[in-house]
Chain A
Amino acid sequence: MAAPSTAPLAPNRLLTRWQLLRTSRRWQRGLRLTASYIVLLIGAMFMLFPMLWMISASFKPGWQIFTQPPIWIPQHWEEVRAGSTNRMFPLWRVPVDGQMETVMELGVRRYTTVINADLLQQVQTVPANALSDAFAAAVDGLTLNVREWFADGETRRVVALARGEGDTLIVADVADVRPAAQRLPLDVVNAGGRASFEIGGISFRGREIVTDEASLRVIPIGPESQLTVVGSPEIAAAAILVPSERVRDAGFIDVDKTELRLVTVDGMEGDFIPLVTESWQPVIDEEEFNAHAFVAPRSRLSAAGPVQINNVEVQGATYTAEDGASYPVIILISGTTQSAVISPEHATTLHLAQLGGLTSARGAQIARIPYRVQDGYSEGSTVLSVALVGEPRQMALIVPAWVVDEAFDVPPEALERAMYPRLRLDGYREALQTKVGESYFTTFFRNSFVLVALNTIGHVLSCVVVGYAFARLRAPGKNFFFLVLLSTMMLPYPVTLVPVYEIFRDLGMVNTLWPLFLRSFFGNAFLIFMLRQFFTTIPRELEEAARIDGADTLQIIRHVIVPLSKPAVATVVIFTFWWTWNSFLEPFIYLSSPELFPVSVGLNFFRDQYGAIFYDRLIAASVLSMAPMIVLFFLAQRYFIEGIQLTGMKG
């Protein structure tokens, strides 16, 4: 502490105190500590931020991972299912009378601004070059295309109504236009008959809209705007999927505060409101397809007209078997001379699906007829592989008109996603259920654990024995071999890559797990060295006692050395786990069957297949693949650190 002083501080005294302070140990220590923590924080951010981002992303749906601006905390976007299909409608929140209401989108409605011809008297003809360009301006809550007119030394704001003779425009003052202007649905305006009328001696062409009460003469002036028609989310449950070619336009219907398009459907009673028209793909569970579909020559099939199965219209046929029996089938994939067919009662999983962004279908064949299979197709809580049968078709989702009793328009910008924070586990579930080359992630985990177990056994057995020999036994040539052992620790592995592959090829072990664990039974230079260092610290007397009791060397290792070397043996186990779990190049080279892949290669395979479509699943799979290492790390951090220090502390 500086000396206590009550005297007022002269400037030079102040300086000295500052200097004192600056050179004081406390100040310097504080400064250094602050700087240290800043450096540590920056470093920790660099290390932690990607990890945290990844963990957060693994709980998000795919679309949320790369949004801009980013969504940091996983959100759940409420959605409703359309009828019994796999199409989901996202929900929105919109303020209604000061309260937030959750709604779904029913359609869009275009509006234009019109002028009621009966309410406007003052118009003028102005040369176009006296006017500025039009710009959108809000006037009392209504957007108008306003122009500026320089005349008589003043600037007036006007709205152009029509083109006049020559290069002139017919304009009216904004103040006069506003009371006469209103916004009307574009379809209402366009439905009105053409009409011409005069205002202030100038003739205009406009529209005459006749309603029950009155007729309205309007001049459309724009701008046009688009509003979203929204309604209660419950509507979605009533949705029906129909082929779009059966849908007929039937005008409009007034609903609540807005108007919606109306359609009729061939072969169905009543009016409907269309929600959306999209391409839908007929799919069937691959397992059902493989189990029951068969190939029939065209000659044994006779057409039997279209059949509806689970709302999918498919071609029916009668199949006559070789024994003369005939029964009905449906055609799933038609080829030139033969078709893949299935009996209707076995087509239980045939349905129309919205494949969305899925574009990673793999090719498959049934008796030379090619078709495509989409793995990882998810519907609700199940993930399966589906065969794509037949061409996609345009389908319309419609709801009966009477279901929609409440609907209103909102500007699109007023809609807010109906989201709330929630950790989503679907990414993990789906990652585990997604078929990766006829295998699943769980298989990769099993393979990795099998390899870890075998390598651990191999390393412990071999390295303990060899390490003991180098630590304790005396023999001519020992130093030479120890030197050889040390030098192999730094040997670049690429040199032996090809011949070792050759050896395992000659042993018939390519595409088996053997090459990935066999060598651990022959020791590992680093682990041998580590164990040897540890064994030399064990007092010899303990062995001597056992030897006098008649124990041989293996017994001594088993009953004296190993029990005393638990930390070192633990390090061997942990390092083996670590290396095996993370090893990539060797399994990548030796294995070609996905059912043998360890996690590292399986993950790479998963990325190749789905990296571009299932972001959420790939990230979840990555997190899962890291999980055992992270758990092991926290359980045994000490051994990691001691082992690592040993690798790097020579010199």
Chain B
Amino acid sequence: MANLVRRFGGSPLARREAISFYLLILPWLIGFLVFLAYPMLRSLYLSFTSYNLLSLPQWVGLQNYQRIFADADFWQSLKVTLLYALGSVPGGTIIALALAMVLSQKLRGVNIWRTIFFMPSILSSIAVAILWLYIFRPEGGLLNILLGWLGIKGPDWLLSEQWALPALILMSWWSVGGQIVIYLAGLKGIPEVLYEAAEIDGAGDLAKFRFVTLPMLSPTIFFNVVLAIIGALQVFDVGWVLTRGGPNNATLFYMINLYRRAFEFTQMGYASALAWILFVIIMGITLLVIRSSTLWVFYESEVR
């Protein structure tokens, strides 16, 4: 504290600068306090209450959490969401990485390819969901027509308990364009010298990928995998538009369950508890990935 006062009380110029700084960040600071910090604490408090938005919150202790852990819908939604993340994240990463690797060679029309791959990812999830709703139609839908050409009788996709979630995962791979762009930039950033050195050492394509590309790109991959996991665990739009969580809760994403509790049943306390559980899960998984990253992420600074 004394330190702070001394620094504020340093030269008048430094003091004016510090005051300007706080004045300028004031909009963000207010926004942070009002729309982020306070709501987080408030929702933690609400998670221990029974609250329907109309009357005052009633303290119920751990009751919400007890009810959640005894609720089959919660476990189903958790299972569905984790499976979705497990399907969409690694699949999407591999597809994005493979396409970026191919594009990073000196090919004709890199920009055109990149545009093609990138475009689907900027489109509104609702319009995309409606597009895929029709593609997944069992009769006359594009996907089953293509499968029919290969002599396969396609499943009922979104109408089938077994295939609805795989369909949503498949659909998520359509929007990996953003990652392709990121990996492409990352690949361009790898110094050519490293490849030349590897070649002198007699490395083939595979070895170059294994010992140059992957380590150099691993921080980028790591960061995007974390982002993708966080995104996948919070998915709502596509599930809502395509299946409403059905058939028979086969695609009941965590956020659909939470939305229903909060805004259909106005169980705000229960929903807040759900939100905090998701928050803890996301933080846990992120930490886990970060901890494990030392095993597979290569930071140049470590070598120096």
Q: A53-B142, A496-B43 given as contacts; is B36 within 8 A of A488 (CB)?
A: yes
Contact A54 B241 (CB under 8 A): no
Q: A493-B234, A629-B124, A633-B122 given as contacts; is B27 within 8 A of A475 (CB)?
A: no
Q: A494-B255, A495-B279, A502-B53 given as contacts; is B32 within 8 A of A488 (CB)?
A: yes
* Interface membership of B163, Cβ < 8 A: no
CA–CA, A615 to B133, complex, Å? 11
Q: A57-B134, A474-B17, A651-B220 given as contacts; is B103 within 8 A of A465 (CB)?
A: no
Stretch at the interface among B58-66, B153-161, B179-187, B190-198: B179-187
Specify which of A49, A522, A629 is in contact with B35 (CB 8 Å cutoff): A522
Interface string of A631-651 (1 = CB under 8 A from B): 001000100110011011111
Q: Please give the distance in Å from B290's CB to the nearest CB on chain A.
A: 11
Q: Please give the distance in Å from A645's CB to the nearest CB on chain B.
A: 4
Contact B130 A494 (CB under 8 A): no
Q: How many A-B residue pairs have CB under 8 A?
A: 277
CA–CA, A473 to B115, complex, Å? 39
Interface residues of A in 110-127 (CB under 8 A from B): none
Contact B31 A522 (CB under 8 A): yes
Interface string of B35-48 (1 = CB under 8 A from A): 11011101100100
Contact A497 B53 (CB under 8 A): no
Interface string of B161-187 (1 = CB under 8 A from A): 000000000000110011101100110
* Interface membership of B74, Cβ < 8 A: no
Q: Which residues of chain B are near A67, meaning CB under 8 Å? A: 140
Specify which of A32, A629, A651 is in contact with B223 (CB 8 Å cutoff): A651
Contact B263 A589 (CB under 8 A): yes
Which range contains the number of A residues in contact with the other chain?
35 or more
Interface centre among A51, A494, A625 (most CB of B within 10 A): A494
> Which secondary structure characterizes the binding site on chain A?
helix
Interface string of B72-111 (1 = CB under 8 A from A): 0000000000000000000000010011001101010000
Q: Which residues of chain A are near B230, meaning CB under 8 Å? A: 490, 492
Q: Which residues of chain A are near B186, meaning CB under 8 Å? A: 649
Q: Please give the distance in Å from A581's CB to the nearest CB on chain B.
A: 6
Q: A36-B105, A66-B140, A473-B24 given as contacts; is B126 within 8 A of A584 (CB)?
A: yes
Q: Please give the distance in Å from B283's CB to the nearest CB on chain A.
A: 8
Contact A494 B181 (CB under 8 A): no
CA–CA, A195 to B263, complex, Å? 79
Contact B35 A33 (CB under 8 A): no
Q: A481-B25, A600-B126 given as contacts; is B35 within 8 A of A503 (CB)?
A: yes
The closest CB in chain B to the CB of A491 belongs to B36
Stretch at the interface among A39-47, A147-155, A201-209: A39-47
CA–CA, A65 to B135, complex, Å? 11
* Interface membership of A408, Cβ < 8 A: no
CA–CA, A501 to B35, complex, Å? 10
Contact B30 A522 (CB under 8 A): yes
* Interface membership of A352, Cβ < 8 A: no
Q: Which residues of chain B are near A611, meaning CB under 8 Å? A: 130, 133
Interface centre among B122, B133, B141 (most CB of A within 10 A): B122
Q: Which residues of chain B are near A22, meaning CB under 8 Å? A: none
Interface residues of A in 344-386 (CB under 8 A from B): none
* Interface membership of B147, Cβ < 8 A: no
Contact A645 B279 (CB under 8 A): no
* Interface membership of A466, Cβ < 8 A: yes
* Interface membership of B272, Cβ < 8 A: yes
Contact A648 B99 (CB under 8 A): no
* Interface membership of A9, Cβ < 8 A: no
Contact B4 A626 (CB under 8 A): no
CA–CA, A491 to B286, complex, Å? 11
Specify which of B132, B140, B182, B276 is in contact with A495 (CB 8 Å cutoff): B276
Q: Please give the distance in Å from A601's CB to the nearest CB on chain B.
A: 8
Contact A466 B27 (CB under 8 A): yes
Interface string of B218-245 (1 = CB under 8 A from A): 0110111011001001101100110000
Interface string of A607-630 (1 = CB under 8 A from B): 100010001001100110110011
Interface centre among A488, A496, A648 (most CB of B within 10 A): A648
* Interface membership of B34, Cβ < 8 A: yes
Interface centre among A49, A528, A585, A651 (most CB of B within 10 A): A651
Interface centre among A37, A522, A578, A581 (most CB of B within 10 A): A522
Q: A488-B32, A629-B123, A645-B182 given as contacts; is B24 within 8 A of A499 (CB)?
A: no
Interface centre among B4, B36, B46, B120 (most CB of A within 10 A): B36
Contact B142 A49 (CB under 8 A): yes
Specify which of B4, B98, B142, B224 is in contact with A648 (CB 8 Å cutoff): B224
Q: Which residues of chain B are near A492, meaning CB under 8 Å? A: 230, 233-234, 278-279, 282
The closest CB in chain B to the CB of A590 belongs to B263
* Interface membership of B258, Cβ < 8 A: yes
Contact A498 B43 (CB under 8 A): yes
Interface centre among A492, A502, A629 (most CB of B within 10 A): A492
Q: A494-B278, A651-B223 given as contacts; is B140 within 8 A of A70 (CB)?
A: yes
* Interface membership of A292, Cβ < 8 A: no
Which range contains the number of B residues in contact with the other chain?
35 or more
CA–CA, A603 to B186, complex, Å? 37
* Interface membership of A75, Cβ < 8 A: no
CA–CA, A40 to B46, complex, Å? 51
CA–CA, A573 to B279, complex, Å? 30
* Interface membership of B248, Cβ < 8 A: no
CA–CA, A163 to B132, complex, Å? 60
* Interface membership of A523, Cβ < 8 A: yes
Specify which of A51, A469, A523, A644 is in contact with B182 (CB 8 Å cutoff): A644
Contact B275 A494 (CB under 8 A): yes
* Interface membership of A300, Cβ < 8 A: no
* Interface membership of B137, Cβ < 8 A: yes
Contact B18 A476 (CB under 8 A): yes
Contact B185 A625 (CB under 8 A): no
Specify which of A53, A484, A523, A581 is in contact with B124 (CB 8 Å cutoff): A581
Contact B130 A499 (CB under 8 A): no
Contact A498 B24 (CB under 8 A): no
CA–CA, A68 to B279, complex, Å? 47
Contact B182 A647 (CB under 8 A): yes
Q: Please give the distance in Å from A499's CB to the nearest CB on chain B.
A: 4
Specify which of B18, B119, B124 is in contact with A599 (CB 8 Å cutoff): B124
Interface residues of A in 425-466 (CB under 8 A from B): 462, 465-466
Contact B117 A47 (CB under 8 A): yes
* Interface membership of B127, Cβ < 8 A: yes
Contact B279 A494 (CB under 8 A): yes
Specify which of B40, B132, B227, B259 is in contact with A50 (CB 8 Å cutoff): B132
Specify which of B29, B116, B279 is in contact with A47 (CB 8 Å cutoff): B116
Question: Which 10 interchain pairs have the tightest Cβ spacing?
Answer: A522-B31, A66-B140, A651-B219, A648-B182, A499-B39, A469-B24, A475-B18, A475-B21, A523-B28, A496-B39
Known A-B contacts: A66-B141, A648-B227, A651-B222. Give 11 more (CB < 8 A).
A66-B140, A465-B24, A466-B27, A470-B25, A485-B28, A496-B40, A497-B275, A498-B262, A503-B39, A600-B124, A651-B297
25 A-B pairs in the complex with CB atoms less than 8 angstroms apart: A46-B174, A47-B177, A70-B140, A462-B31, A475-B17, A475-B22, A476-B8, A478-B21, A485-B28, A488-B32, A488-B36, A492-B233, A494-B258, A497-B258, A519-B35, A584-B125, A585-B236, A585-B259, A615-B134, A626-B123, A640-B122, A645-B182, A648-B181, A650-B223, A651-B219
